[in-house]
């Protein structure tokens, strides 16, 4: 296989001919080498695979249980349990950033200079000749050249010299900048990530209905808010009972010094920003607000029972105990429900739901029949609270990627010229010149069409 770079598309500065390259230190040479890039990309891919195979962010006990004492300890203490934040990942990532930066420093200025250099007739005449024609006197040379080349290459310009006319066409002039824009964009994204890591704030805020918060939780600490926020109402809706949830929605009021300043509705996919912080609907739940009142039927006898949360209560007859495990304000759209655990004798407790509005649903335990009379509950809603000044850097990187990719992959660089000279016969001598060192395939196709067009004239 040829070891020579064929360079059809993007090129960073790394492959220039040795003659052009100034003598650089070994370190600089290594930092700008493509070998390092490929090596780092594969290392990063490998480490990322580990991160998806080994469950992340679990307590140490989890790894000891799952992988055994020695392997579990290795995984936990070598940082494989938080691999994306460990040197295994961050070091190659950092080195990749250095690698990209070095290539940018080395190649971007030259690429910009090359793009800014105008396409002069001197440069045009130095291009290799691709075809030669003799046109008879009857032909309108300007019209034919414009028709054929304009169609293939877009607008060009004309230079008139004393004894010849030169038509210049340049395509993909800014292509050399493309790959650098892409890599600059990647650096912007990484920078944004770092900014978020150091200057961003991320926490969570659970709020009961009606509750006012002055702080939110960041890690294990309470972080003060510069304002107060109140959850007025939480709502969960279903498309149909027993089906898919349609909407989770929290109505929030923001207060300053006890005065209402703003109201907003926070939904999934529809966050709320206030005072530099953004609130995302992240989860919700219900908590009991007092004892649940139940009717129990056992052996033909009805009895009313009050169950406080998570405290076992003896059932009539004394043969079993029942405990309120939790409540749900809207169980799959069927309204309030209480989850109970019943233990009779030594067996496993039976766990089941009792629905207030739908007593027919839910599986009843053996020997007992439960009906809920009232299930007092309160919804709570949990918000992800965040500020991340790095996001704009990341987005800027995303946007910059687009022109970068466009230039790098969709603007093959090529220069063409047609030189027109009057011949003694009254006709014209025409020469087609052109070059596209990096896009030979496209160039060959264009050349074929241009030669045909110039020979026969453009098809009308």
Partner 1 sequence: MISQILGLVMLAYLLVAVLFLAAELWSSPRLQSWARVLLWAGLGVHTGALLGRWAGSYQLAALHSAPAVFADNLRLVILQAPLSNFYESLVFFAWTLPALGVISFRRHLQGYLGAVVAVLACLLLAYASFGGVDSRIKPLMPALKSNWLLIHVVTAFLGYAGFALAFGAAILYLLQDRRPRASLPPLAQLDRLIYRATVLGFLLLTLGILTGAVWAETAWGRYWSWDPKETWSLITWLIYATLLHARLLKGWQGRRIAWLAVLGFMAVLFTYFGVSFLLTGLHSYLT
User: How far is the C-alpha of 218 from the C-alpha of 205, rounded, in Å?
Assistant: 9
**Is 119 a residue that touches partner 1 (CB under 8 A)?**
no
Closest residue by Cα to residue 389 from 199, 110, 150, 183 = 199
Q: Which two three-digit tokens encode residue 50?
A: 């580990």
| Chain center to CA of 413 | 31
Question: Measured from the CB atom, is 37 or 374 closer to partner 1?
Answer: 37
User: How far is the C-alpha of 52 from the C-alpha of 425, rounded, in Å?
Assistant: 77
Count other C-beta atoms under 10 Å from residue 447's C-beta.
19
Q: Assign 375 to helix, strand or coil.
A: coil
Contact 246, 332 (CB under 8 A): no
Instruction: Please enumerate in sequence order all residues whose Cβ is within 8 A of that of 92, keeping only pairs 6 or more positions apart, or say none.
Output: 40, 43, 44, 47
User: How far is the C-alpha of 190 from the C-alpha of 366, rounded, in Å?
Assistant: 60
Contact 205, 454 (CB under 8 A): no
**Is 267 a residue that touches partner 1 (CB under 8 A)?**
yes
**Is 28 a residue that touches partner 1 (CB under 8 A)?**
no
**How many helices (H) and strands (E) are present in the chain, helices listed first?**
10, 20
Q: Least Å distance between CB 208 and partner 1?
A: 21
**Is 217 a residue that touches partner 1 (CB under 8 A)?**
no
Question: Measured from the CB atom, is 15 or 74 closer to partner 1?
Answer: 15
Beta strands in 21-109 (DSSP E): none
The interface with partner 1 within residues 294-323 (CB under 8 A) comprises: none
Which one of residues 100, 375, 394, 419 is an interface residue with partner 1 (CB under 8 A)?
394
Which one of residues 28, 62, 67, 84 is an interface residue with partner 1 (CB under 8 A)?
84
Q: Least Å distance between CB 206 and partner 1?
A: 16
| Chain center to CA of 405 | 17
Question: Measured from the CB atom, is 10 or 324 closer to partner 1?
Answer: 10
Q: Which stretch binds partner 1 (CB under 8 A): 30-38, 331-339, 357-365, 370-378?
A: 30-38
Q: Which two three-digit tokens encode residue 281?
A: 């609907």
Which one of residues 148, 177, 401, 432 is an interface residue with partner 1 (CB under 8 A)?
401
CA quadruple 132, 134, 139, 144: dihedral, nearest 10 = 0
- Per-residue x/- marks for partner 1, 219-258, CB under 8 A? --------------------x---xxxxxx----------
User: How far is the C-alpha of 177 from the C-alpha of 409, rounded, in Å?
Assistant: 11
**Is 333 a residue that touches partner 1 (CB under 8 A)?**
no
Count other C-beta atoms under 10 Å from residue 68's C-beta.
12
Q: Least Å distance between CB 279 and partner 1?
A: 8
Q: Least Å distance between CB 456 and partner 1?
A: 24
**Is 201 a residue that touches partner 1 (CB under 8 A)?**
no
Q: Least Å distance between CB 274 and partner 1?
A: 14
Which one of residues 110, 125, 174, 202 is an interface residue with partner 1 (CB under 8 A)?
202
Q: Least Å distance between CB 234 and partner 1?
A: 13
**Is 386 a residue that touches partner 1 (CB under 8 A)?**
yes
Place of tokens 């964009």: 185
Q: Which two three-digit tokens encode residue 300?
A: 């033909």
**Is 395 a residue that touches partner 1 (CB under 8 A)?**
yes
Which one of residues 349, 405, 421, 422 is an interface residue with partner 1 (CB under 8 A)?
405
Count of chain residues binding partner 1 (CB under 8 A): 56
**Is 1 a residue that touches partner 1 (CB under 8 A)?**
yes
Question: Measured from the CB atom, is 202 or 421 closer to partner 1?
Answer: 202
User: How far is the C-alpha of 182 from the C-alpha of 406, rounded, in Å?
Assistant: 10
Which one of residues 147, 225, 264, 391 is an interface residue with partner 1 (CB under 8 A)?
391
Which one of residues 20, 26, 27, 45 is an interface residue with partner 1 (CB under 8 A)?
45
Which one of residues 34, 105, 116, 126 is an interface residue with partner 1 (CB under 8 A)?
34
User: How far is the C-alpha of 16 from the C-alpha of 366, rounded, in Å?
Assistant: 82
Question: Measured from the CB atom, is 67 or 405 closer to partner 1?
Answer: 405
**Is 44 a residue that touches partner 1 (CB under 8 A)?**
yes
Which one of residues 193, 288, 336, 434 is an interface residue with partner 1 (CB under 8 A)?
193
Question: Measured from the CB atom, is 370 or 383 closer to partner 1?
Answer: 383
Contact 450, 152 (CB under 8 A): yes
Question: Measured from the CB atom, is 235 or 313 closer to partner 1?
Answer: 235
User: How far is the C-alpha of 353 from the C-alpha of 362, rounded, in Å?
Assistant: 5
**Is 91 a residue that touches partner 1 (CB under 8 A)?**
no
Q: Which stretch binds partner 1 (CB under 8 A): 45-53, 123-131, 209-217, 306-314?
A: 45-53
Binding site for partner 1 (CB under 8 A): 1-12, 14-15, 34-35, 37-38, 41-42, 44-45, 48-49, 51-52, 56, 84, 193, 202, 239, 243-248, 267-271, 278, 280, 282, 384, 386, 388, 391, 394-395, 398, 401, 405, 409, 441
């Amino acid at each position: 296989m040829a070891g020579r770079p064929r360079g059809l598309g993007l090129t960073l500065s790394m492959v220039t001919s040795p003659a052009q390259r100034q003598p650089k230190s070994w370190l600089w040479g290594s930092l700008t080498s493509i070998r390092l890039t490929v090596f780092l990309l594969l290392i990063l891919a490998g480490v990322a695979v580990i991160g998806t195979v080994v469950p992340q962010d679990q307590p140490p006990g989890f790894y000891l249980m799952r992988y055994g004492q020695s392997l579990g300890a290795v995984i936990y203490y070598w940082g494989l349990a938080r691999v994306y934040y460990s040197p295994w990942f961050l070091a190659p990532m950092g080195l990749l950033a250095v690698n990209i930066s070095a290539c940018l420093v080395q190649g971007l200025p030259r690429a910009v200079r090359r793009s800014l250099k105008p396409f002069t007739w001197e440069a045009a005449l130095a291009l290799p000749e691709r075809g030669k024609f003799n046109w008879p006197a009857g032909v309108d040379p300007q019209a034919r050249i414009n028709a054929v080349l304009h169609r293939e290459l877009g607008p060009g310009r004309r230079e008139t010299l004393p004894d010849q006319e030169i038509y210049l066409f340049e395509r993909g002039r800014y292509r050399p900048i493309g790959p650098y824009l892409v890599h600059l964009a990647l650096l912007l994204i990484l920078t944004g990530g770092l900014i978020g890591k150091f200057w961003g704030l991320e926490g969570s805020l659970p709020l009961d209905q009606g509750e006012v918060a002055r702080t939110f939780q960041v890690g294990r600490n309470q972080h003060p808010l510069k304002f107060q926020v109140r959850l007025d109402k939480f709502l969960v809706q279903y498309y149909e009972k027993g089906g898919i949830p349609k909407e989770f929605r929290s109505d929030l009021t923001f207060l300053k010094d006890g005065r209402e300043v703003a109201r907003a509705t926070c939904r999934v996919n529809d966050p709320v920003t206030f005072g530099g912080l953004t609130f995302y609907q992240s989860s919700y739940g219900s908590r009991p607000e007092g004892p649940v009142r139940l009717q129990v039927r056992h052996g033909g006898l009805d009895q009313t029972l009050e169950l406080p949360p998570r405290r076992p209560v003896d059932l009539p007859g004394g043969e079993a105990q029942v405990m309120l495990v939790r409540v749900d304000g809207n169980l799959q759209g069927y309204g309030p429900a209480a989850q109970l655990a019943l233990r009779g004798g030594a067996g496993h407790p039976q766990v089941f739901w009792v629905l207030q509005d739908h007593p027919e649903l839910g599986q009843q335990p053996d020997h007992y029949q439960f009906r809920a009379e009232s299930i007092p509950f309160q919804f709570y809603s949990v918000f992800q609270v965040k500020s991340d000044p790095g996001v704009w850097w990341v987005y800027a990187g995303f946007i910059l990627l687009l022109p970068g990719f466009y230039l790098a992959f969709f603007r093959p660089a090529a220069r063409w010229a047609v030189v027109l000279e009057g011949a003694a016969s009254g006709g014209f001598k025409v020469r087609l010149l052109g070059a596209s060192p990096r896009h030979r395939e496209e160039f060959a196709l264009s050349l074929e069409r241009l030669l045909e067009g110039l020979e026969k004239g453009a098809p009308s």
